[in-house]
Amino acid sequence: MSEKVYRSELTPVSFLRRSAYMFPEKTAVVYGERRYSYSELEERVDRLASQLRDAGLQKGDRVAFLCPNTPPMLEAHYAVPAAGLVLVAINTRLGKDEVTYIVEHSGARMIFVDAELEELLADVEGLETVRIEDTGDQGDPYEDYLAEGSPEPVPDVLEDEEETISINYTSGTTGKPKGVMYTHRGAYLSALGNAIEIGMGYETRYLWTLPMFHCNGWTFPWAVTAVSGTHVCLRKVEPPRIWELFEDEGITHYCAAPTVQIGIVNEEAAHPLETSVTAAIAGAPPPPTLLSGLIDLNIRPMHIYGLTETYGPMTTSGVHPEWEELDMEERARLMARQGQGYTTADLVRVVDENMNDVERDGEAMGEIVMHGNMVAKGYFENEEATEEAFEGGWYHSGDVAVWHPDGYVEIRDRDKDIIISGGENISTIEVEQAVARHPAVMEAAVVAIPDEKWGERPKAFVVLKRGQEATEEEIIDFCKEHIARFKAPEAVEFTELPKTSTGKVQKFVLRDKEWEGSEKKVN
């Protein structure tokens, strides 16, 4: 405990301590037939934390989790930091090469893996592994592991709220994932920011449609607990099941990218809900048809924006009551803007190359830059990338935007070689490298193309070696063997590549052609 009477180090672990103390019998977790009260959740967390301590791990060691939105994944968000360790939640949609790289780069000392995902660890050697069969019963290796732990809280070893709580890997423009470091302080404040902005409270029943491996579930594993709400876990995103849970569990809030929202709206079981549900949307701006579809079902959409480097969302379009009187096209246009910073964040800026603010006229374009409590502290073991991203004392998003007279910002283009498809980051350079590995390919360039379902998808422009042949299907299938399937090109075009006088491929020429007629070059 701090010697200062007026200070405690901020950590989201304290949210569970308080909720378990105040509301021990309240349902904290719902998962199929399983129900855990807050006191039971705390005990499971304490047993896991004590086992991690007894495993001989030292403060700051990394512990990886590779599993879907199940109770163990939620428990990891408390037990790992409570034990003084750093959580590495791995994207379950990656290929085994990518998973191996993340495990090795993070220096993880242990990994917990869902039985369905064990094949992704085929190339990981010499690492203590705990298998999760997801039964919740004795005999499940994970449950047996918990049973051996102490139900008593482990001693608190947090000395500084700026210590790392987790590392989240994102695709960098080099194609190699970068480990974004979150702090206890940042996670605490981001969680409170999310609770405030989407209007959560004691009655919240939150449905886990958003992966917990995405920016630690945008910090909602901590946010829901902060308001003593109920986590309704969901192993797979299936629209029929989501509609069942809306009704059976009285869901009040959920988060999802537009592609998931479209599936929910178009599900056969969709019907207007008696009680309004709030849906936070990020990954791409919601189109008018989606907004009207959600509103007709009594689902209240909220557009939020951020990046892995900002703990997930850190701005909101902050719906004004008077917008509800507007026609849907105009309402959607206003709501599709990225808006402005959360209560717990600094306001964002749009700046030119000299870090001067651009005119707030909705026309002048610059880069969105961020600062403050909701910016990550840097990239793990990559000082060069950290310095570049934080140049001038602000985090550079790589998103090109305009600044409107009302102070809201709106993305118009992206200057990073990143495609955001269904909420997933795809490095165009990583895809190019995969295409180039095909024996018939001489050269390749990959850009984003608009896609009605996913927002954006990769398209490869390919030059074949002289005398070689390959079909579009062959190259796409080849890529699926080497990288995550969702990263493989949606289309392949065989063509000459436009280049500068120095031989650099002019990807903007390819992108301009694909986005011709669109107001923006992101979707």
Cβ atoms of residues 197 and 348 within 8 Å: no
Binning pLDDT at 50, 70 and 90, where does residue 224 land?
very high
Average pLDDT over residues 79-107: 95
Cite the DSSP H helix spans in 150-228.
184-197, 215-218, 220-226
Return the exposure string of 250-283: e unless at least 16 CB atoms fall within 10 Å of the residue's CB, then b.
ebbbbbbbbbbbbbbbebeebeeeeeebbbbbbb
Reported pTM = 0.84
| Residue from 249, 302, 304 nearest 275 by CA | 249
Binning pLDDT at 50, 70 and 90, where does residue 171 land?
low
Return the exposure string of 319-338: e unless at least 16 CB atoms fall within 10 Å of the residue's CB, then b.
beeeeeeeeeeebbebbbbb
Amino acid in the structure at residue 321: P
Residue 127's SS3 state is: coil
Return the exposure string of 2-37: e unless at least 16 CB atoms fall within 10 Å of the residue's CB, then b.
eeeeeeebbbbbbbbbebbeeeeebbbbbbeeeebb
Cβ atoms of residues 29 and 225 within 8 Å: no
Q: Quote the CA–CA distance of 513 and 523 in Å, as a whole number.
A: 15
φ, ψ of residue 183 to 5 degrees: the values are -105, 165
Cβ atoms of residues 206 and 232 within 8 Å: yes
In the chain, list all ranges with CATH 2.30.38.10. 345-414
Q: How many Cα atoms within 13 Å fall on the side-chain side of residue 140?
A: 16
pLDDT surpassing 70 at residue 175: no
The CATH architecture one would assign to domain 418-514 is: 2-Layer Sandwich (3.30)
Residue 267: alpha-carbon gap to chain centroid: 24
In the chain, list all ranges with CATH 3.30.300.30. 418-514
Q: Quote the CA–CA distance of 233 and 242 in Å, as a whole number.
A: 11
Per-residue pLDDT at 134: 97
Q: Quote the CA–CA distance of 455 and 261 in Å, as a whole number.
A: 12
φ, ψ of residue 276 to 5 degrees: the values are -65, 140
Cα three-residue angle 199-67-483, rounded to 5 degrees: 105
Q: How many CB atoms lie within 10 A of CB 147?
A: 11
Across the beta sheet with 349-351, what order do the strands follow? 349-351, 365-370, 395-403, 409-414
Token pair 């990288």: residue:
483
Which CATH number is 345-414 given?
A: 2.30.38.10
Q: How many CB atoms lie within 10 A of CB 505?
A: 17
Return the minimum-mean-pLDDT range out of 40-44, 351-355, 489-493, 514-518: 514-518
Binning pLDDT at 50, 70 and 90, where does residue 172 land?
very low
φ, ψ of residue 209 to 5 degrees: the values are -85, -25
Per-residue pLDDT at 174: 47
Binning pLDDT at 50, 70 and 90, where does residue 418 land?
confident
Q: What is the percent of the chain where pLDDT is above 70?
A: 95
Q: Which of 28-37, 312-321, 409-418 has the highest mean pLDDT?
A: 28-37
Token pair 């719902």: residue:
30
Q: How many Cα atoms within 13 Å fall on the side-chain side of residue 251?
A: 27
Binning pLDDT at 50, 70 and 90, where does residue 2 land?
low
Q: Quote the CA–CA distance of 188 and 161 in Å, as a whole number.
A: 9
Binning pLDDT at 50, 70 and 90, where does residue 504 land?
low
CA dihedral 388, 391, 397, 398 (to 10 degrees): -60
Per-residue pLDDT at 110: 98
| Residue from 165, 226, 169, 306 nearest 20 by CA | 226
pLDDT (tens digit, 9 = 90+) per residue, 315-350? 999 888 898 888 887 888 888 889 999 999 999 999
Per-residue pLDDT at 173: 42
pLDDT surpassing 60 at residue 501: no
Residue 432's SS3 state is: helix
Q: Quote the CA–CA distance of 192 and 219 in Å, as a whole number.
A: 9
The more confidently predicted of residues 322 and 436 is 322
Tell which phi-psi region holds residue 406, choosing left (phi > 0), alpha (psi between -120 and 50) or beta: alpha
pLDDT (tens digit, 9 = 90+) per residue, 97-117? 899 999 999 999 999 999 999
pLDDT surpassing 60 at residue 502: no
Q: How many CB atoms lie within 10 A of CB 138?
A: 8
Q: Quote the CA–CA distance of 73 and 82 in Å, as a whole number.
A: 14
Binning pLDDT at 50, 70 and 90, where does residue 139 land?
very high
pLDDT (tens digit, 9 = 90+) per residue, 253-289? 999 988 788 889 889 999 999 999 999 998 766 766 7
pLDDT surpassing 60 at residue 381: yes
